């Protein structure tokens, strides 16, 4: 569930609590996430100091100087800042306990998330090395999207979800941004004009910023690191709104599947 805005909200909460703190203990209750949590992680992390908390796409990077803990929340993961000793509940798989008594706890019912270690620069990890530009950075522009989509016959929505084109766009925000840009999700990416690429990139950035301002989207499992819920789901124009009226023209929102993912759009407003 957590998409880029939710991961960024989490990052901000973690940065305030974890930066500069030393790790004293690691608890692994269930190592079987998407990939197994390395069993030597407990020994490896003890004594390290978290320098800063970064994000690349939907990966959180706890930078320890000589390497980084890489955390992905998958579909149902959340990270909470708690006090050491707080009782673990179901699906609380992993804890980091810090010198000052603060505890970082990962909960992930579906276990599609990941906790990994990368020596040195975490951006060299195979999962991160091939990622495209960050959508909120200046590295991602209409010109960049236009160039990346030339010659591609796949739908624009499929390519927005391709992390090699742009990193960390999830299904909700792909749907919402295409609506905001008035572009049909099924449109062949290679035929989008330069102007429409510009408009889409602006819409994508605005959609992500609006979600950040609303504290992200809380659908089922997501909570911020302080336990707060996001409320951007109240602002969805099309996502999850099959047959409900389009906010602009009131015609019913259509639902279909593109690349195995639920897709929603207004056939009147999006061309």
Partner DNA sequence: CGCCAGGCCTGCACGC
Partner DNA sequence: TGCGTGCAGGCCTGGC
> Taking phi first (over 0 means left), then psi (-120 to 50 degrees means alpha), and beta for anything else, what does residue 191 get?
alpha
Selected binder of DNA within 62, 106, 156, 158 (CB under 7 A): 158
172 binds DNA (CB under 7 A): yes
Within the chain, where are the H helices?
4-18, 41-45, 126-129, 142-149, 156-160, 171-180, 194-213
Annotated catalytic, 185? no
Query: In angstroms, what is the minimal distance from the CB of 99 to DNA?
Result: 31
- For residue 257, the SS3 value is strand
178 binds DNA (CB under 7 A): no
Residues 97-136 that bind DNA (CB under 7 A): 109-112, 127
Annotated catalytic, 261? yes
Stretch that binds DNA, among 14-22, 41-49, 116-124, 146-154 (CB under 7 A): 146-154
Catalytic, out of 11, 56, 58, 196: 58
Selected binder of DNA within 6, 8, 95, 176 (CB under 7 A): 6
Annotated catalytic, 39? no
Selected binder of DNA within 40, 85, 153, 243 (CB under 7 A): 153
Nearer to DNA, 25 or 261 (CB): 261
Q: For residue 175, report the phi and psi dihedrals to the nearest 5 degrees.
A: -60, -50
Structure tokens at 120: 């040195």
Beta bridge partners of 98: 23
Q: What is the per-residue DSSP string for 224-240?
A: -TTSPPPBGGGG-SSTT
Rounded to a whole number of angstroms, the distance between the first and last alpha carbons of the chain is 28
Q: Which of 26, 22, 125, 29 is nearest to 72 (CA)?
A: 125
Residues 35-94 that bind DNA (CB under 7 A): 57-58, 72, 74-76, 90-91
Provide the binding-site residues for DNA, judged by CB under 7 A: 1-3, 6, 32, 34, 57-58, 72, 74-76, 90-91, 109-112, 127, 152-155, 158, 161, 163, 168, 170-172, 190, 217-222, 258-262
Q: Which residues are catalytic?
A: 2-3, 58, 261
């Amino acid at each position: 569930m957590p998409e880029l805005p939710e991961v960024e909200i989490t990052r901000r909460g973690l940065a305030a609590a974890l930066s500069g703190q030393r790790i004293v203990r690691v608890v692994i209750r269930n190592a079987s996430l998407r990939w197994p949590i390395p069993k030597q992680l407990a020994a490896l992390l003890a004594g390290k100091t978290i320098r800063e908390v970064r994000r690349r796409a939907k990966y959180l990077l706890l930078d320890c100087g000589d390497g980084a803990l890489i955390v992905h929340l998958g579909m149902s993961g959340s990270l909470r800042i708690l006090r050491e000793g707080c009782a673990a509940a179901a699906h609380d798989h992993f804890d980091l306990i810090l010198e000052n008594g603060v505890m970082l706890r990962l909960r992930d019912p579906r276990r599609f998330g990941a906790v990994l270690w990368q020596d040195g620069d975490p951006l060299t990890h195979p999962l991160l090395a091939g990622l495209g530009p960050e959508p909120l950075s200046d590295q991602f522009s209409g010109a960049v999207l236009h160039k990346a989509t030339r010659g591609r016959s796949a739908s624009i929505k499929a390519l927005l979800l391709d992390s090699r084109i742009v990193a960390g766009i999830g299904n909700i925000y792909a749907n919402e941004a295409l609506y905001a840009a008035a572009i049909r999700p099924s449109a062949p990416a290679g035929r989008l004009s330069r102007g429409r690429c510009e408009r889409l990139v602006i819409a994508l950035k605005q959609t992500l910023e609006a979600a950040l301002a609303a504290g992200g989207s809380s659908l089922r499992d997501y909570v911020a690191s302080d336990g707060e819920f996001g409320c951007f789901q109240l602002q969805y124009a099309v996502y999850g709104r099959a047959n409900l009226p389009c906010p602009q023209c009131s015609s019913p929102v259509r639902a279909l599947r593109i690349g195995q993912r639920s897709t929603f759009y207004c056939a009147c407003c999006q061309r």
